[in-house]
Amino acid sequence: MPMDGAGPRPETRPVETARVPSPASQAIARHFERVEADLVSRGLLRSDGGGVDVPFSRRNLVENFIRIALYDEYVAQSGQLVARETVSRLRRWEDPIRMGLVFGPSVSTEQRRTDTREIEQYTRRLSRLTGIPIRLGAPEDANFHVLILSEDERRGFGPDLRRLVPGIDTTAQQTIATIPRSTFCLVLAFSRGPTSTYSHAVAVIRAEHPARLRQSCIHEELAQGMGLANDSPAARPSIFNDDEEFALLTPQDELMLQILYDRRLRPGMTEAEARPLIDTIAAELMGGES
């Protein structure tokens, strides 16, 4: 759905032995093992970023950026998020990001170390692309939370979520607690007051995910939490596409992040206001290629 500064390593509570997953969590884990195996067997969840078999033009880049950065994938309706694409405005972070990792008791110490290394490396890449400083630190001081929780842990996380994100609305809480099995992971980003400048974000990664899906979720949700909030079936090569062809941030995705954080653009811009500048920036990034 809807960051060079890694800084100190995140503070996490020591865990001697991971809590044994519940039957529901074990069933979810088996389900996603099958999902990952099926996707990989069909040549999906690619990690090569695309190549000569997936060319894209400057025009592709411009149109894909506009669809992904200036439209929303979901709307709030009757206390729930409903999938319906709607026109939006350009949104991004202006302040440094303080990212806090929260692991559920079911996540082993070894898996925590693996996830932390992956996220540290990836946030350095996001920070280089956007110019936004990102550091990992204590969850209590974070403005971007990454929750790696099992099915049961996520459903019971409401009190902790309200403590970590004061003022979080009931729609967001309900969305996180009731993620359907069809949703691999998600991120919710919140703007400050009536502005289009992000002030807080919460990404949710299923603790049950096997390695490739886990890495894919980290790449997609943290990048979407930077402001590329929508998905588009036309975007290729891209992780912002629900076909799951690509697991990791692609060269086109990197260009979209660079466009989003170009200082000639401003949070709150409409498509009509931003399009001429987007055309210019894309031409510069791609060397004038059509």
| E runs forming strands in 63-213 | 71-77, 80-87, 92-93, 97-103, 134-137, 144-149, 185-191, 197-206
Q: Across the chain, what does the average pLDDT equal?
A: 91
Q: Please give the full DSSP string across 57-87, using - where no structure is assigned.
A: -HHHHHHHHHHHHSEEEEEEETTEEEEEEEE
Task: Tell me the per-residue pLDDT of 111-169, one tens digit each, with 9 for 90 and over.
Answer: 999 999 999 999 999 999 999 999 999 999 999 999 999 999 999 999 999 999 999 99
Cα–Cα–Cα angle for 173, 221, 107, rounded to 5 degrees = 75
pTM of the predicted structure, to 2 decimals:
0.90
Contact (Cβ atoms closer than 8 angstroms) between residue 147 and residue 157: yes
- CATH superfamily label, 23-285: Collagenase (Catalytic Domain) (3.40.390.10)
Contact (Cβ atoms closer than 8 angstroms) between residue 226 and residue 122: no
pLDDT at 168: 93
Task: Tell me the per-residue pLDDT of 49-90, one tens digit each, with 9 for 90 and over.
Answer: 998 899 999 999 999 999 999 998 766 665 666 666 788 999
pLDDT at 177: 95
Given a cut of 70, whether residue 101 has pLDDT beyond it is yes
